[in-house]
Every structure is written in structure tokens, then in C-alpha cells.
Structure 1
Amino acid sequence: MDDNTDLFIHTVHGAGRLLPSGNRWNSIELDYNLLPTSSHNDDHFTTTSSLYSKSFTFNLTITDKSHFKRFLYIFIALLLTIIFLVLLLSFLPHKHHDSLPSTNLPFTLKQALLFFDAQKSGQINNSLVKFRGDSGLQDGHYRQINASLVGGFYDSGNNVKFSFPTAYTITLLSWTVIEYHEKYEAMNELEHVKDIIKWGTDYLLKLFVPSNSTATPNLIYSQVGSANISSSSENDMSCWQRPEDMKYARPVSVCGASATDLAGEIAAALAAASLVFTDRKSYSLKLIQASESLFNLAKNSGKKQTYTMDVACGGEASNYYNSSGYLDELVWGATWLFFATGDRSYLGYATDSFDSALIEELVPDHGVFYWNNKLAAIAVLMTRLRYLLDPGFPYTTVLTKCSELTNNLMCSYLSAPEKFSMTPAGLILLKPNSSTSLELASTAAFLTKIYSDYLDSIKIEGGACGDDLYSLDDLQNFAESQYLIR
């Protein structure tokens, strides 16, 4: 990558000023105060007398005044003690009730990252999760297959390692670090999240074995472990157990060059992660080279298809992470490669293929960002490119279209429940019949937050949904609401 870049200036409608342009990704400084400070009103208690109370008459006679005085002293002391405790408690910080959201974002972030630590497979050294140990040390050795596939992450509660969602996760984690690395650092979690990303990229690098001769095909490993729940033998789906206790054979699923979407997804992950490790030039370059090799393999393959269309490659994975198309992964990979390298041939491919990818998109996936559909996120990335770098002709038409799609996406989120269903507490349900409601709400909140930051960086105060205007506060409030659902 060349550090000597030309300088450009451009303007974006609504910004009201000229903006600098370049050909490198430049992280932006963001407002970190995502969560409001909680406040609690004092509880008020009322007492009511019984409807069936009766009155009695007593004659009280004091026979020993010393006992009476002692009683008064004790009573007054107790009363003063109670008053002191009440005053003390009123000045102490209020304890959060379980039903209220936590505003301790560093603690919340650390717990979220610990999930990935708990899912690690391979040789574990100094794990932050003390109950985890070495596991899957023979992964990759199965029948005639002799590959080194130790590492990676287990999927949810089972012990299968699916390559497709792993690559998507590493891409998304890398994006958060690229945009918010200073915030991670302020919470002392930057090295932690980078360690998680590197654990993923080290594994992803093992999944691609390029051909070294005409007789040796290109190989991509799509899965380690068995997801065949109909099998009578013990496997990762029928027997949920500690990965440290696995004794059964773990099959390996192998793909060729026709696994277009899987190659594009891994290429995107490696390219995005290369921007995270710019302080480690040799490793960053290694990621870029592998990403370019994978992308060119997928782009130039004579046969293009989804990895789940090949039974040997993704037959079992199709029950859990079925892929409906491959063009969005190719555009996704090309976009990240452009940001990582500055090579405009990747941007050209991404913009030339974007409309075709839109045609391939499933109707229920419109406006939904998840492992099977990257188009909403690509539109936001392209909008970032237009606002902050403005590469100009011949990309203007597609970048402008992406900006319009992003604005429409924001309008669809803000207009819920008219556009999308919502729970009574306000959680957006992008796919009501899906079991991944929290995942989809989280990615919607992420895209909304990051788009509002892009607008704020160029001093645009909001957007329009027809005749209705929305502000940056509206975007921020929606993003926050998805994390503060009670």
C-alpha cells in the first residue's frame, strides 16, 4: 500500500462546506456517551387502616419509673439509629434493579467479549474463562484428510466449527474496531478484542489451501465436526458436551473453487482484519495477500455457486447456515479489499456488481443485515466512502444509489412498527418468524449508530423520509433503544 496519496476536496449535499478526500480508510472520532445515566425515584409507601378494626380501652399504670426511663432511652436510641440509616441510604448510590438496563458499558463489553473466549477451540493459553482448556487438537485429521485445522470457534452450544458464520463474525468485529478503536482502548479492551480477531484470522488462514500445480485443486474447508443429527453415532449435535471431553471422530467438509460465497466471505474477513493490524505490518500484509488470492479465485472461477449447493462442501451446514446467493459476498469482499489496499479495481468490481446483487437479494431479507445478507451493510460502507473520500467518476452513480438506500433503510427502522413489527417494549422484529431477533436488532442498531456518526462527521444534521425529517438524535435514540429493551 502506498503512503503517498493525492489530495482531493469534495462536498456532500447538506454539508455546507468542502471536505477532504483520499484513498485510505480514516477512522472517525465518535461520541461515546451511548447510554444515559439511570435515575430512580424514591418509592412511596402508603398505609391504609383495616376496614374491620376494633377499639379497646386500656388503663396504663407505671409502677417503676426507672424501667420506664430505660425504655424511653432505648426507644429514642433506636429511633435515631433508624433515622441515621435512612439518611445514609438516601445518600448512597442506588442499586440497579434487575429489571433495569445496566449503564456500565465497559463491564457489558467485557462480558460480551468473554463469550468469544469461551467459544475458542484449540490450544488455550492463559484463558480468561477458567473452566475452558485445550480441545479439538486433532481437528483436520479425518480419514484421508490430513489438514491442520486446530483453532477457530465453536458454534453456539454445539461443538461444530462452521467457516461461513465465523468469517462473517470476524468481519463485523473488525469493523467495530476500525471505527471505535479509541473507545475500545479507553475501556482497556482493545488488545482483548484484537486477540479474539487474531484467533479467528489465524484459523481462517488455515481454511484456504491454494493449488500449487494443475493436478492439485484449490481447497476451502467449510466445516469441522458433524451436524448430522440423524446419525446414530455420537456427534456434535446429538451430544452436547464439554469440548474438552470429545472422544468421537470429527469429520471435515471440503469445498473447491466453486464455493463462491464462502471464498468471498473469508476474503472480506481477512481484508477487514488487515486494517485492525496495521501496527503489525507483516501480519497485515499476510492477511491482504490471502484475501486477494481468495477473492480472485472466487471471481474467476468458471463455476460459481453457494457453498451449500455442494453436498460435500455445505450439505450439513445448509440446515443451519444456508446461503441463498453469492453476489453479496463477492461485493462485500471487494469493498473491504478496496479499503484495505486502495486498489480501485476492487471498487470497480463492487460498484459494477452491486445492482446484480440487489436483484439476487431475497424479498424477506430487504433491510436485514446478517450472515446471509450483506447488502444493507455494503450500502452503509459505500455511503461512508462517498461522504468521506468521494472517489468521483465512474463510481458516483452507484455510491449515490447506496446513499439513497441507506437513507431508506434508516426510514424503515424509524418508521417501525409501520414497516417492521416490534415487541411491546420496542425491540424491532426484522424477521418475526426467525429465532435470531436479538441478532438482527443488534445489527440494525449498529448500522443506525454508525450512519449517524458518518453524518455527524460531515456536519449533516439528519435526513428525510418523504415530507418527514429525522435528526441525528432520532437515529441515536433508535440505536440506544435496541440495547435498552427491558
Structure 2
Amino acid sequence: MRPQFRTLHVFFLVWLALSVDGHRRLVAGGGSYNYKEALTKSILFLEAQRSGKLPPNSRIPWRGDSALDDGKLANVDLVGGYYDAGDNVKYGLPMAFTITSLAWTALAYKSELQSTGELKNVYAAIRWGTDYFLKASSKKNRLWVQVGDPVADHQCWVRPENMKTPRTLYKIDQSTPGTEIAAETAAAMAASSIVFRDSDRKYARRLLNKAKLLFEFARNYKGTYDGECPFYCSYSGYNDELLWAASWLYLATKRQNYFKYITEEAVTASVAEFSWDLKYAGVQVLLSDLHLTGEGGLQNFKTQADNFVCAILPDSPFHQVYISPGGMIHLRDGANTQYVTGTAFLFFLYSDILIKNHETVTCGQQVIQPTRLREFAKQQMDYLLGSNPRARSYMVGFGASPPTEPHHRGASVPVVQLQEDVDCGMSFTKWYDRDQPNPNELTGAIVGGPDSYDNFDDKRSDSSKLEPTTYINSLAVGPLAKLAAHAF
């Protein structure tokens, strides 16, 4: 049964004094939702983003095989992987982060995913990515990091099954390094190796061996790869990815060379966001667990994890992140909901770590209990599901008044014959400009979301608000599993 929704005037409203600007903002209180349904649908969206030869049990009826010749231009097999968002390009950096965050979810919330019946589906989602990464990293010190010409792709509004745009190949190697992408892919494969260790030891060993080689490649040939700009530019640099990869490799191997890198060589910093570009907060939460369970030399990561919390919680004396009048974290336009799901993900994880170790968060003289982190994380997820000033869901196919025009080629273009030749010049007039619901429901996709004042129009042309991404959803799977399996 779907949750019952009430209009805004009967929502429970609370006031939070925000120290950052000295005035009070109205925040819509949370509700109670069918989190199991939301969890199931969030995973369905990831399946709708698959590229390549789809399995016989594919659950997305309007999706078919696509990009089956990827890699042929260089005589390599690069079939598979994920389209990152509403276009038909495969970008390595966000794809790898999607898999790392899913792997962490599978490790941290294995019992919750089992109890909701979604563990196998999450494993399948991870493996769809790692199978592709094994192909992309088949040669030492070379990693294929992108498939598809983004300029040409963005000039044609067409389903991936019918695309005729160039499948240009991009790689990093010793002469053209890309430390961020190599290290993030190493992190994804190391984390995934732990996931599959019990069920497929041989596969897990392959992943771990590749992760080790990619980390050494990233570490020995340093440089920022700008080939994914202007779509995925690494503004944070590569030090966070190197620390992130070393941390996952240490968890996977317990080898001291990785621990030495973490404690003696790596750079870290206090930050106020967690995203495909900036991993420090994730590392700090991950390593705080090791610190609190007895590993020496990691105290500073616990301090920085606390700083992350203090920068975000509106009732913290060190609050610095903007919260919309309706209670949503807003860092920047364009896929802003990734910061909502990313914060909820880390807050739930960190609260579990703190509760397990009987610890709290310290913000100056203020002590914050881990239950407050859970409360805030739930409020952020509830905002996306309907507890917001517009009393609407921002997940397609879920709840009240969900988006019907997500900015997404496959969902917005009717299924046509595979051999049909699409006129790119007319594709935008024919499908993109239509102010009508998409013919194919992109079930479970969390769109970019409202602006900083909670304004939202369901218009396909507004990509900043209507475009979904794999990493928005991958960061939502953990919080939704937690909420589906436990009562708060």
C-alpha cells in the first residue's frame, strides 16, 4: 500500500533556528512512507541505466540492448556499464563512484537488504559495473574512461537503442594520466571485492588485483584528466580519491602499505559535502569505524567526520550549509539531490558507528547524540518522498504528484523499431519539446530536485531540476534500506 499523503496545511511544522543567518526557517516535518517500495524502485532506476546486452530477466520493459559495438574503434570490448544520467555517454568517474557507494551500502546494510529482499538486486547492480571495469582496465596502466562523443550526443535526443552518434573512446595511460578516475575505479573494485568475497572468491580476487594495479597507476602517474569536462570536471583534485582508494584497499587487504599511505602520505581535509567529486567525508566516516574499534593513528578522521556533521546540522554552532525554507540541503543547482541522499547516507552510517561504539559528535562545546543524525537523515529522505512545501515526491513513480517529465532520452522517446533512422535535427522538436508526460515511466529515478527556495516545475527542458543520475540513486539505496528495515 502506498503511503497516505496530506496537504501542506496539515503537515506537522517545526521551526529551526539557523545560526548561519540569524533567522528562523520553516521546515516541513517528516512523514511515514512505504520505504520498501521506494527502495525497490530506486534500484529499478539503476537497471534502466544499463548499457550493453541486457539479461533475459531485465525488469525494464521499454529498455533493450544498446551500444553493442562499444570499444570496436580500438579493438577492445567495452560493452556494458551504465549511462550516467539522461544522455547516452558512459562516463568513468561518476560510474565508478556509483559502484563504490553501492558496494559500501551492500557491506553496511547487508541484513537490511536481505530483509527487504533487495540484496541480490544490489549485488547485480554492482556486478554490472565491475564487469565493465574489468574490461576497461584489461591492460596495465591503461583505463578506458569514457565512451561516446558528448558534444554529438547532446545534439541528438534519441533512445540509446537507436543512437547513431559516435561512440568515441577516451582513455588514460602513462602519458595521459587521470588520477581521480583511476583511484575511484580502484576504490570501486576494492570495495566490491569485499562484497563478493563470500559468494564468488575467484571473482573477488580478480577485482582486488585490478584495484591494486589501478591504485599504483593513479599514485605513480599523477595528473587530473579533463577529458570529461565540462560534464564531470574534478574541482576537488585527486588527493581525496587517492585516500579513498587506499582506505578501501586497506579494508580489503589489511596490508600495512595502504595503512602507511593513509597515515603518512595522504592529504585530508574537513569538508561539508560528499559527492562523486569530493570523497573526504566518506573516507572520514569509513576510517572512524576503524579508529573507534581499536586502530591507532586515525583520531583525526573521527574529528573530521564530526566536523562534517557540525557543518551540516542546522542546530550546530558551526552550521555552514544552506538549508532551504522547506528543510532541504541545497549546495548548488544541477543534481542537487545528490547532496541530499549523500548526506543522508553518511549520517545513517556514522550514527550506526557511533551507537555501536557508545560515542557522540562534538561541535565545540555542544555534544550531539547519534540519534540526531538519524533524525536529520530521515528528514532529508522524507523531503524527497513528499514531506516538503509542495507535498510532492521527487521520485518518479512513487508517492504524490511525482515527476512525469524527467530529462531522460530513453524515457521520453517512444519505443521505435531498432532499424528506424532517427533525424537528430528533428528529435528535439519531436520529443524533447513536448510538454507531456514521458511515454516510458523511469520508475524510481530521483530527479535533480527543487531550487534553493523549494520551487519546482515538472518541465523536461529544465535539466538542473529534472535530470536523474545513477549516483543520486546509489546514495539513496542505503538510507532507504535502513528506513525500510527499522522503525525510527
| TM-score, normalised by the number of residues in structure 2 | 0.70
8 A contact 1:327–1:353 mirrored in 2: no
Letter in 1 for 2:84: D
2: CA distance between counterparts of 1:242 and 1:102?
36
Shift of 1:226: 1.0
8 A contact 1:331–1:353 mirrored in 2: no
8 A contact 1:225–1:250 mirrored in 2: yes
8 A contact 2:30–2:379 mirrored in 1: no
Letter in 2 for 1:307: Y
Q: 1:39 to 1:124 in 2, by over 3 A?
A: closer
Q: 1:100 to 1:130 in 2, by over 3 A?
A: farther
**Does residue 368 in structure 1 map to residue 273 in structure 2?**
yes
Q: In the TM superposition, what are the counterparts of 1:241-256 in structure 2 within 5 Å?
A: 241-256=158-173
Q: In the TM superposition, what are the counterparts of 1:119-158 in structure 2 within 5 Å?
A: 119-125=49-55, 126-142=57-73, 145-158=74-87
8 A contact 1:416–1:428 mirrored in 2: no
Q: In the TM superposition, what are the counterparts of 1:251-330 in structure 2 within 5 Å?
A: 251-257=168-174, 258-278=177-197, 279-301=199-221, 304-308=222-226, 314=227, 317-324=228-235, 325-330=237-242
1:76 aligns with none
The CA deviation string for residues 299-332 of structure 1, in whole angstroms up to 9 with x for no partner, is 223xx11111xxxxx1xx1101101311111111
Letter in 2 for 1:435: G
The CA deviation string for residues 360-390 of structure 1, in whole angstroms up to 9 with x for no partner, is x9xxxx32111111111111111111012x2
| TM-score, normalised by the number of residues in structure 1 | 0.70
1:352 aligns with 264
Which one of 226, 249, 252 corresponds to residue 340 of structure 1? 252
Q: 1:424 to 1:225 in 2, by over 3 A?
A: same
1: CA distance between counterparts of 2:315 and 2:148?
40
Q: In the TM superposition, what are the counterparts of 1:21-420 in structure 2 within 5 Å?
A: 103-125=33-55, 126-142=57-73, 145-211=74-140, 218-228=141-151, 235-257=152-174, 258-278=177-197, 279-301=199-221, 304-308=222-226, 314=227, 317-324=228-235, 325-354=237-266, 356-358=267-269, 366-388=271-293, 390-392=294-296, 396=297, 399-415=298-314, 418-420=319-321
Letter in 2 for 1:367: A
2:480 aligns with none
8 A contact 2:190–2:252 mirrored in 1: yes
Shift of 1:240: 2.2
The CA deviation string for residues 78-112 of structure 1, in whole angstroms up to 9 with x for no partner, is xxxxxxxxxxxxxxxxxxxxx98561111101110
2:361 aligns with 463
1: CA distance between counterparts of 2:334 and 2:218?
31
The CA deviation string for residues 179-236 of structure 1, in whole angstroms up to 9 with x for no partner, is 001110101100001001000000011111324xxxxxx32111101112xxxxxx32
The CA deviation string for residues 4-36 of structure 1, in whole angstroms up to 9 with x for no partner, is xxxxxxxxxxxxxxxxxxxxxxxxxxxxxxxxx
8 A contact 1:155–1:162 mirrored in 2: yes
8 A contact 1:292–1:337 mirrored in 2: yes
Letter in 1 for 2:224: T
| Identity, % of aligned positions | 36
Q: How many residues align?
A: 356
- Corresponding residue SS for 1:484: helix
8 A contact 1:222–1:253 mirrored in 2: yes
- Corresponding residue SS for 2:150: coil
The structure with more radius of gyration: 1
Shift of 1:434: 3.0
2: CA distance between counterparts of 1:100 and 1:482?
8
- Corresponding residue SS for 1:254: strand
Shift of 1:457: 0.7
Letter in 2 for 1:263: A
Q: 1:479 to 1:183 in 2, by over 3 A?
A: same
- Corresponding residue SS for 1:111: helix
Q: 1:138 to 1:101 in 2, by over 3 A?
A: farther
Q: 1:245 to 1:351 in 2, by over 3 A?
A: same
Structure with larger RCO (C-alpha < 8 A, sep 6+) = 2
Q: 1:40 to 1:219 in 2, by over 3 A?
A: closer
Letter in 1 for 2:303: E
The CA deviation string for residues 47-84 of structure 1, in whole angstroms up to 9 with x for no partner, is xxxxxxxxxxxxxxxxxxxxxxxxxxxxxxxxxxxxxx
8 A contact 1:261–1:307 mirrored in 2: yes
8 A contact 1:162–1:222 mirrored in 2: yes
Letter in 2 for 1:250: R
Q: CA RMSD in A?
A: 2.2
Letter in 2 for 1:275: I
